[in-house]
Amino acid sequence: MQPSIATVSMPKQKLSGIALWSPDERPRERLLSRGSHALTDAELLAILLRIGVQGKSAVELGHELIKHFGSVQAMMSAPLTAWEDIKGIGSAKRAQLLAALELGRRASLPNSREKTILKSTRDAAAYFAARLRELPDEHFRVAYLNRQGRLLEDALIAQGTVDNVRPPIRTIVARALQTNASALIVAHNHPSGAAEPSESDRELTREIVAACHPIGVKVLDHLIIISDGHYSFADTKLLDELALETLTPIPSKRQ
């Protein structure tokens, strides 16, 4: 006679939080059945968070995040330090949220570099504003162009706080040679919101112009991007003044 084998019944896992909601109320199920547009910002955040914390559902945690930052747009432009020490948001959740927000930001940018033509201050300001506006720290970018104004490359040259961003001139010139650019436009943002160039902005522009003249690359403009506008070195004639101060003859355009 075979010995009987006792069966051990496992205790059922106790459901909590969103798992207790009806399927029609759960964010993930609603997204799949009705589309993402049917969800609130907090519900979309809840899907990214996946689970809440003790005593709070993921949706409640999403509401708290929006309240903490003010809006989803503010979350996208918040510095990394603003995400520290938020209760219920550990490193894994923080990474998931930051990655999703960055994807959303990048999705709003033009995706065809070959078709980007920058022939006016308005074109350049709109292009750089989409990439620099509302960033929490200072970014310095350079757009390298051919003779027709077509974008060859857009490079992030430097990034950091206002006090320590110093774009290396050698890197700017080297990329111009690598891309065979005929012209370039430099741009950076002022997180402070002040559009007026500082003395260091003027000196940097002067150095870039002086370095680019001998290789036949024309500096078309230096733009300062702020949340509600921009400053153009070219439109204000400051670029011409700085070019004269270099005391370097402007070479003819490269063929």
The string of pLDDT tens digits covering residues 158-198 is 988 655 668 899 999 999 999 999 999 999 999 888 999 99
- Same domain for 72 and 125, yes or no, is no
Q: Is residue 252 part of a domain?
A: no
Model confidence at 248: pLDDT above 60: no
- Same domain for 31 and 97, yes or no, is yes
- Same domain for 117 and 238, yes or no, is yes
Last residue of a domain, one of 107, 130, 153: 107
Dihedrals φ, ψ of 15, to 5°? -80, 150
Q: Is residue 103 part of a domain?
A: yes
Q: Is residue 172 part of a domain?
A: yes
pLDDT at residue 39, rounded to an integer: 84
Angle subtended at Cα 60 by Cα 59 and Cα 66, rounded to the nearest 5 degrees = 90
- Same domain for 118 and 94, yes or no, is no
- Same domain for 135 and 69, yes or no, is no
pLDDT at residue 114, rounded to an integer: 60
Last residue of a domain, one of 92, 107, 122: 107
- Same domain for 77 and 142, yes or no, is no
- Same domain for 98 and 39, yes or no, is yes
Residue-averaged pLDDT of the chain:
84
Q: In this structure, how many other beta carbons lie within 10 angstroms of the beta carbon of residue 72?
A: 15
pLDDT band at 105 (very low <50, low <70, confident <90, very high): confident
Q: Is residue 62 part of a domain?
A: yes
Q: Is residue 15 part of a domain?
A: no
For residue 159, the cross-strand partners are 139
| CATH code at position 226 | 3.40.140.10
At 162, which amino acid appears? V
- Same domain for 139 and 202, yes or no, is yes
Q: What is the pTM of this model?
A: 0.64
- Same domain for 99 and 143, yes or no, is no
Last residue of a domain, one of 107, 141, 158: 107
Which domain, by its residues, includes 168? 113-245
Rounded CA gap, 243 and 222, in Å?
A: 12
Q: Is residue 250 part of a domain?
A: no
pLDDT band at 209 (very low <50, low <70, confident <90, very high): very high
Q: Is residue 157 part of a domain?
A: yes
The percent of residues in the chain predicted with pLDDT above 70, rounded, is 83
- Same domain for 121 and 222, yes or no, is yes
Q: Is residue 10 part of a domain?
A: no
pLDDT at residue 255, rounded to an integer: 43
The residue written with tokens 């955040």 in the block is: 45
- Same domain for 191 and 235, yes or no, is yes
Averaged pLDDT, 215-240? 95
- Same domain for 157 and 201, yes or no, is yes
